[in-house]
Structure 1
Amino acid sequence: MICVLLLAAGEAWESPAMADLEAHPGVVVLKRCVDVDDLLAAVTSGQADVAVVSLDAPGLDPTSVAHLRRHAVRPVAVTSALADDLDAREHAARLGITALVGRGQLATLPRVVTTVEDVADTRARGDDLSVLDPIAVAAPPAAEAGRLVVVWGPAGAPGRTTVATNLAWELARRDVAVVLADLDPYGGAVAQQLGILDEVSGLLSAARLASAGQLDDRFASVCRSVGDRLAVVTGLPRADRWREVRAAQVEQLLERARGHGQVVVDTGFSLEDDTGSDLGGRPGRNTLTLAALEQADEVVVVGSADPVGLTRLARGLVDLRDLTAGTPVRVVVNRMRSSIGWSEKEIAGMVEGFSRVAGLHFVPEDRPGLDRALVSGRPVADLGDSSLVRALAALADAVLPAHSSGGADRSSGQTRHFRRQFRQVKRAKF
């Protein structure tokens, strides 16, 4: 018995398809779904085997198709175009659907539904079951993929965006192609820090293009250029619009950004996974952050150098440990100042007690310099030399030593220095 979910999205073929499917022995139509969200919620029951969907159903995207397959539901697309129409075939291929029934072939739908699980075998035999042969979608020219550096930090505004923005700018100053992506679901501020007039959200544009399978071809349109080497994907215009971005779209965006150069990502603070999002197929709010961390080549964790900030940093490192198994984690203690009363050595001992880190960096407090940078919409390095600029340059040396500005030796020496501290200092208690 093949149990079918039907999503026709108001297409004229719905009634005849329904009649043909119900008349076919061994096929049962479980439900006629009103939209994609209804379909994705229905598959979680575990009762359906096949989903017959309109190829042009609003909201149908690669993430939706992946959700169907995750629940062992095989998709079959129906289109009003001919099955051999190139546009229809490419659209289905981008969605990840390999079974397509076109205009004039609706009578074959029950046969396709009952044999769709054997698509690979029938293709090998050369049988004609109105099944779409996957089309190789043009890929961008092969190039060495850039590294993905994700900047994360716990709640309390420890300076994630400041570190991410200035790290990306520092790399771009070294003639390195960099993509800076703002994936903070709680209200990104990268555009404001760089003085970008954010009329259109780059992130939302990228999500729409990814859904349509056009992101590879139109990636440049979602970026704003800052200087010659820095491309910025601006964040959400309002925090409540996080619902419009799904994990698969984030993955496509970051994968495409790697082809452009090195990638720096600014994220949100929360690592909580919304397990209920799978039930209705809707993304969880922290999907953007979690998807970025999952793909990261290195994670830069930012904490504030004060009692509250260090406590949150310690807890955050513990929470992060399970999500970044095997991924290097580098810690930045931000706003370091002598008035706190703790030495760098003592803070190094605390960090070592909670997590193994690839490196530890102290960024000094420079409120006047940051204020001037924010008001002018420029990175701090544009305003002249300072201890803050030198600390950020050392961080860039450590993150991408291949593009060091001559500070690689200093960075490695700093790492050895803190490793000696880790061996000498017992865990500090706060």
Structure 2
Amino acid sequence: MSVLLCLPTQIDSAVIEMLAESGETHLIARRCADLAEVLAGARARIATLAVISEDADFLDLTLISELRQYVGVAIVARPCAESGRSATSSTYSSRDLRAFGNVEILSPLPIEIVARIRAVQTIAEFSPHQLHNGNTSKENNEGSLVAVWGPEGSHGRSTLIRDCAVLMAQKDQVRVVDGDVRSPSLAQFFDVEESSGIIGVARMIDQGKKPDIDAIFSELSAEFCGVELLAGMNTGQRWREISRPVADRIWPVACADCALTMVDLAGGLDEHGERIDRWALSRSALERADIVIHVASATPIGLRRLIEHWDSSREQGFAHEAIVLTGVRSTALGVSPMFHARDVLHTVGITDIPIFGVREERGRLDRVLLSGTATTRAYPKSGYSRDLERVCAWIEDRMRLCASISP
């Protein structure tokens, strides 16, 4: 058993000197200049523990989570001006290192670091099966999370989220999260300036800081009935800035002290074939979600895409609780379009699941988008709004069921 060191020169020299005096320098597998070297040594499995300075460049939750796949991690807190006093390691750091999760926190005193290094001879440090990358457990103060997604080309998904959120906000506090990693657009649908709210939250989490929940939501007009919006990435090209460990910690923040949080997820979901996963945010939300709604266009092409995506996502272990078909009209599917749509889906085995239809009212949808309001506010008695009321009633029933079976 041995250790990877990545410490400031002064502390590193003191630690090595103490180990040399007792003939224990063999416990150090490598003295690393940076975290890239630490990660390389961890992947090569030449050590069981990495002792890293809090001041190391690029130290964040994402890197620590990757290191934890191979080695145990101990972080040496940053020395403060008062470091000469007798104190525990938690009094040294300027940030809460415990936010990084399953890591040890050491004081910057060389004698304590040496004592920890010597302990690798007597305790089992780490084995890969001890690690669980995703943390999807639910805290007591978290409300329900509704994941809304579907195949690529699911036209009307963002409109559906906006209008359902406004309807339900008349009864409960509702938040909306733009988690689309391809074409985020909810800022436009809620008529606010483009921002990178979700990126800002991700950065604070990645750096071990507590997100300021009151400052991260976009300020919406009264037309949206108090809905809170966590805006998306501005562009889908920024998906690399949210790793899976960070994504798993976004939902407790987004759902804290709120009855309902709805997240808009990108259409499609590739199999996880690369080390860097474009769909990490989607996978995290789907695993954490209490309710999953699958949105597709009510057209022959939309139904084909829905069936293909349904089969693919089921193979990956994701369940579905309801389907919403948007843009329902006779010109696309013939007379009685919902009858034909359900018949097609039942033929391929998609049964025993609610299938809702939302009729096409393109002119009204265009007008409310230009005027910066919600369709259910501008046209509350329209057929479109009545269709959404049925969807919202089902969501409310599912929320009550989830609440009744929660521990």
| 8 Å CA contact retained: 1:273, 1:287 | no
1:14-163 correspondence runs (5 A): 14-17=12-15, 24-30=24-30, 32=32, 34-35=34-35, 39-40=38-39, 42-71=41-70, 73-81=71-79, 82=83, 83-86=88-91, 88=93, 91-96=96-101, 98-103=103-108, 105-115=109-119, 144-163=141-160
| 8 Å CA contact retained: 1:61, 1:212 | yes
C-alpha displacement at 1:14, in angstroms? 4.0
Give the structure 1 partner of residue 188 of structure 2: 192
C-alpha distance in 2 between matches for 1:94 and 1:367: 47
C-alpha distance in 2 between matches for 1:31 and 1:377: 58
Query: One-letter code of the match for 2:241?
Result: E
C-alpha distance in 2 between matches for 1:98 and 1:403: 35
Structure 2: 5+ residue runs without aligned partners? 126-138, 401-407
Give the structure 2 partner of residue 250 of structure 1: 247
Q: Cα 1:33–1:395, aligned 2, differ >3 Å: closer, same or farther?
A: farther
C-alpha distance in 2 between matches for 1:118 and 1:264: 49
C-alpha displacement at 1:316, in angstroms? 0.8
1:296-315 correspondence runs (5 A): 296-315=289-308
Q: Cα 1:85–1:301, aligned 2, differ >3 Å: closer, same or farther?
A: closer
1:309-364 per-residue CA deviation (whole Å, 9 max, x = no partner) reads 11100011111214455x44210111111012343222113223243453110111
Moved over 6 A (4+): 117-121
Give the structure 1 partner of residue 274 of structure 2: 276
C-alpha displacement at 1:118, in angstroms? 7.1
C-alpha distance in 1 between matches for 2:101 and 2:119: 18
C-alpha displacement at 1:100, in angstroms? 3.2
Q: Cα 1:31–1:271, aligned 2, differ >3 Å: closer, same or farther?
A: farther
1:368-401 per-residue CA deviation (whole Å, 9 max, x = no partner) reads 0111122122211121231111111211111113
**Percent of aligned pairs with the same amino acid:** 24
Q: Cα 1:25–1:212, aligned 2, differ >3 Å: closer, same or farther?
A: closer
C-alpha distance in 2 between matches for 1:324 and 1:169: 31
Q: Cα 1:98–1:151, aligned 2, differ >3 Å: closer, same or farther?
A: closer
State which of 321, 331, 339 in structure 2 corresponds to 1:339.
331
C-alpha displacement at 1:88, in angstroms? 1.9
State which of 13, 16, 22 in structure 1 corresponds to 2:11.
13
Q: Cα 1:310–1:402, aligned 2, differ >3 Å: closer, same or farther?
A: closer
Q: Cα 1:402–1:269, aligned 2, differ >3 Å: closer, same or farther?
A: closer
How many residues are paired up?
A: 370
C-alpha distance in 2 between matches for 1:255 and 1:377: 29
C-alpha distance in 1 between matches for 2:173 and 2:226: 5
1:183 equivalent in alignment to 2:175: no
| 8 Å CA contact retained: 1:329, 1:357 | no
1:330 equivalent in alignment to 2:322: yes
C-alpha distance in 2 between matches for 1:347 and 1:45: 54
Q: Cα 1:182–1:58, aligned 2, differ >3 Å: closer, same or farther?
A: farther
Give the structure 2 partner of residue 238 of structure 1: 235
Please give the secondary structure, in 1, of the residue aligned with 2:278.
coil
C-alpha distance in 1 between matches for 2:122 and 2:217: 42
Please give the secondary structure, in 2, of the residue aligned with 1:222.
coil
Q: Cα 1:119–1:236, aligned 2, differ >3 Å: closer, same or farther?
A: farther
C-alpha distance in 2 between matches for 1:120 and 1:90: 29
Give the structure 2 partner of residue 124 of structure 1: none
1:14-52 per-residue CA deviation (whole Å, 9 max, x = no partner) reads 4544666686254132462533x5544543333331111
Q: Cα 1:14–1:284, aligned 2, differ >3 Å: closer, same or farther?
A: farther
C-alpha displacement at 1:74, in angstroms? 0.8
Give the structure 2 partner of residue 395 of structure 1: 391
Please give the secondary structure, in 1, of the residue aligned with 2:96.
helix
Query: One-letter code of the match for 1:298?
Result: I
Give the structure 1 partner of residue 132 of structure 2: none
Please give the secondary structure, in 2, of the residue aligned with 1:187.
coil
1:159-170 correspondence runs (5 A): 159-170=156-167
Please give the secondary structure, in 2, of the residue aligned with 1:361.
strand
| 8 Å CA contact retained: 2:99, 2:208 | yes
| 8 Å CA contact retained: 2:300, 2:333 | no
C-alpha distance in 1 between matches for 2:310 and 2:241: 29
Please give the secondary structure, in 2, of the residue aligned with 1:221.
coil
1:263 equivalent in alignment to 2:257: no
C-alpha distance in 1 between matches for 2:321 and 2:121: 43
Give the structure 2 partner of residue 351 of structure 1: 345
Q: Cα 1:118–1:59, aligned 2, differ >3 Å: closer, same or farther?
A: farther
Structure 1: 5+ residue runs without aligned partners? 122-141, 278-282, 405-430
